[in-house]
Structure 1
């Protein structure tokens, strides 16, 4: 596999490692002081600007460098590996701009693209005080005038609301509760008349303390007709389609935070002694470390396949994105909590141990599960599609070519066609629909002596668990309204089956090319570890494999916690 395809994230990673030395803006002590002062990481963001990270927020169609969403996830991961606050503060521009990439006309999108590449900050103003994720309850209004529109109302708890140059704003134009009663606007604050808007105060937060989490209020703010994004009444639809992209990219935040947590923990277990031994030598600690590595690789397999699915399985992103957004941050929270148990009281220190970085990343990462729809919101989005998914499963079939392109890491991707994003997809989920074929490929490899027998057993058990899930979906009727406990339990099981299937697809499509790239690929170690974690979470009895545990921990120690990735060769 050609290293040129991943040059951007490798270049950024090397740059940030250099900037993390004493005196640099990514030096842990400097980041700690900013966090304690609740100060915006302006110098760190400047480094990202000078690198040209914002170019990767702009599609190639508008002279940017965004050609592969899985590569964008890796870029965000590189930043979050050093500091989540910086990653959140900078990447918000992508979230603010993506609706224009989805539905803006070419002139509007081209103008915004130039501004983003020049360093303009864009904020996405969706939520309001008292409404949270209930976008249908939005009270900010847009009234048509001969010249354009007049905006009134407040958007609150908005990232970069104060620092942004442009605000991508969802406003009500029709009756309350009418899904077609909303328009989307790209508001240039510099073009608003004096008194047309007011910045609301920054809100002190438990994590990402330095980020600009604030709000903005509008009072008879006049905006031109050209500020409208997309058609009348399409605002909510555009936002929901844009969320399919942003929810997927948010996985990079969790991957980077977990990279950081694993690196800090690895350093600790190699220096701390207990009962006359290093912690890393104790069986229980080794098991916890191996589980953490498996969790990280499982999160990565979901994130990479989902990022590539943006291009290769675009009409299925209404399923792939909420599953990814629900699974990856919640798995990251659990992983960080388990590593915190290994660190003990040091996980709570704000400066004494490792500049308080573990305590900071643990606090910061809690927001990852809330951004762009909480875990509950994303699971509810999946639950609403259960009947469609059940019918598609009964029909059988899947997007064979699309799944292969999403899962094969050296296959070039077609540009994203935003017109293929849909809100309801009747074709089902190819990740699960293609699982029987993938398991059969594994069985063939085992018969040929090219894969370990243990992998066949694990894959077969996941296939049986997925079949049982599909049978339950066929008879399940989601509760009206917010959903029942049974609905959410089924959604969680769906996520686990999806995650296990992602691991199988990535391994089966890349094993021949990646088999010698790192020890985690040897003997199918990483996919065996991931399936073991999934099946235990599903309540399926499986035996732990000591050889896998030992191999993963040894590789963790060898790389000092820095090399636990499926993508070391690309």
Structure 2
């Protein structure tokens, strides 16, 4: 991906303006229609057509192939803008990007151009990995590809695939056999409009994203051309794993969008609902809940932005950072939305009384984000297998990442490094530039303008990181050192919290003129809610004022200047 857009916020703001107010039924995508589609489990074809018309799919295609994809943070935020209106449409289009990523990373120019044409015309695609018998154990995939004259014969079934029926293209992981019956996992790009002898598995009913095309495909010696095979110099599975490192980060946009809408609806209700001669917003516990949710949303945005920019600045560490982002952001938003529904009260549970029942739909839809592109357990396992190396390296030496200031700057006009797909790695090799840079920063705080109270919170975080490293090393000598043990998973969850807090601290350090982060009380609130999320947390007046201001202007709740 080359030639990055100077200020990607312009495109995000343009999309936000074009989509309009989701409470206004005169807009194509609006809450009442989304809920109605959900009730009937009807695929949102009109939404997809509209998104094609306004050029949304251009941002899935690299610029050198005729699209607009440049900086992944832009795509993350565009996904968030769509998600705050309708998660089904966002996830359906996001699945198209998921299917495209292995092609952009590994395919030849002919295959890339073939897929680019499909996407730019607004055709959906998918990535077919999972099978009913094996779930997320991709190494056990059974769908086979055996050589035949001028191609391969596919046999077997892929299950629980989003867009498996609606999609024109399918990027599929198969067990390929050569003429000597040697086998390997390989990736094929299928143009389903050119195939015969396959059948679609009927739509599978789900609790959330109920009108999504969650289905599957069954091959019965289906012939595909040789040109469908993605040939690389490394195992085909590596391309899938590298693609998932990027897609897991982009998934954060779904959760940010859902969380934004649930917080907005709850704040609206609290301001307008009179109870006991006051508004609900006047109640201390309600102020606390809304302020804490706003702080969590801002930190979740920080983690998402830091991770998306890591695709360019720390691509060798994505095996850990993508899993961190994919675990921590959906988990945090799910818990926060659970707290918001308490403030909303009965209106959370009524299907038609308040904004067409969109809050409940958002909560159900958001719950699926933790499941796809690797479940929470799978992502914790990916991190857990690398914690020993991370802890050892942090204790041995810490250093500042060379591009740290650019990485954590919120100035969206600054250039971002290009992504070189060869830099992506399936193992972190113990490198953790985020935690390492934070520890190095604490040794030179005199060079940065940080208040005494912030410096104290930094010291707490530093000690927590060092204690975590000691715990990891102690655990290595116990019987519970297996990556999937209860103890290792517990310590891995702690790591994701330390990663989130370190991202928060680095954004504070490198944005001293930012209108929010330069406010010490707000900065302290953000760190506190990340380091020590407690029912005794009291949001500052400055934080509550910022929430109210962004709400009044109907802006996306964000650190960025929408």
Q: Secondary structure at the match of 1:422?
A: coil
Which residue matches 2:366? Answer: 365
Q: CA deviation at 1:84?
A: 0.9
Which residue matches 1:32? Answer: 35
Q: Secondary structure at the match of 1:434?
A: helix
1:50 aligns with 2:53: yes
**Distance across 2 between alignment mates of 1:121 and 1:564:** 27
**Distance across 2 between alignment mates of 1:564 and 1:532:** 23
Which residue matches 2:8? Answer: 5
- Equivalent runs, 1:92-241 vs 2, <5 Å: 92-173=95-176, 181-193=184-196, 196-231=197-232, 234-241=235-242
- Equivalent runs, 1:149-548 vs 2, <5 Å: 149-173=152-176, 181-193=184-196, 196-231=197-232, 234-398=235-399, 400-410=401-411, 411-440=414-443, 442-445=445-448, 450-477=449-476, 479=480, 483-512=484-513, 514=514, 516=515, 520-537=516-533, 544=537, 546=538, 548=539
User: How many residues of Structure 1 are paired with residues of Structure 2 in the alignment?
Assistant: 551
1:66 aligns with 2:69: yes
**Distance across 2 between alignment mates of 1:55 and 1:370:** 27
Q: Deviations for 1:62-82, whole angstroms, at most 9, x for unmatched residues?
A: 232111111111000000111
**Distance across 2 between alignment mates of 1:181 and 1:131:** 17
Counterpart pick for 1:567 among 542, 553, 559: 559
* Residues 255 and 299, structure 1, Cα contact 8 Å, conserved in 2: yes
**Distance across 1 between alignment mates of 2:324 and 2:138:** 20
**Distance across 2 between alignment mates of 1:168 and 1:318:** 21
Q: CA deviation at 1:415?
A: 1.8
Q: CA deviation at 1:115?
A: 2.2
Counterpart pick for 1:557 among 545, 548, 552: 548
Q: CA deviation at 1:23?
A: 3.4
With over 3 angstroms needed to count, the CA separation of the structure-2 counterparts of 1:198 and 1:305, relative to structure 1, is: same
Give the stretch that moved more between structures: 305-314 or 399-408: 399-408
* Residues 398 and 427, structure 1, Cα contact 8 Å, conserved in 2: no
Which runs of at least 4 in structure 1 moved beyond 6 Å after TM superposition? none
Q: Secondary structure at the match of 2:551?
A: coil
* Residues 400 and 440, structure 2, Cα contact 8 Å, conserved in 1: no
**Distance across 2 between alignment mates of 1:64 and 1:415:** 16
**Distance across 2 between alignment mates of 1:154 and 1:236:** 18
**Distance across 1 between alignment mates of 2:177 and 2:149:** 18
Which residue matches 1:84? Answer: 87
Q: Secondary structure at the match of 2:372?
A: coil
Q: CA deviation at 1:60?
A: 2.2
* Residues 297 and 526, structure 1, Cα contact 8 Å, conserved in 2: no
**Distance across 1 between alignment mates of 2:379 and 2:310:** 18
**Distance across 2 between alignment mates of 1:172 and 1:357:** 42
* Residues 126 and 170, structure 2, Cα contact 8 Å, conserved in 1: yes
With over 3 angstroms needed to count, the CA separation of the structure-2 counterparts of 1:92 and 1:454, relative to structure 1, is: same
Q: Secondary structure at the match of 1:336?
A: helix
Q: Deviations for 1:39-87, whole angstroms, at most 9, x for unmatched residues?
A: 1111122221112111111122323211111111100000011111111
Q: Secondary structure at the match of 1:457?
A: helix
**Distance across 2 between alignment mates of 1:452 and 1:403:** 21
**Distance across 2 between alignment mates of 1:564 and 1:16:** 13
* Residues 298 and 557, structure 2, Cα contact 8 Å, conserved in 1: yes
Q: Secondary structure at the match of 1:181?
A: strand
Structure 2 residue runs without a partner (length 5+) = none
* Residues 38 and 210, structure 1, Cα contact 8 Å, conserved in 2: yes
With over 3 angstroms needed to count, the CA separation of the structure-2 counterparts of 1:3 and 1:189, relative to structure 1, is: closer
**Distance across 1 between alignment mates of 2:344 and 2:21:** 27
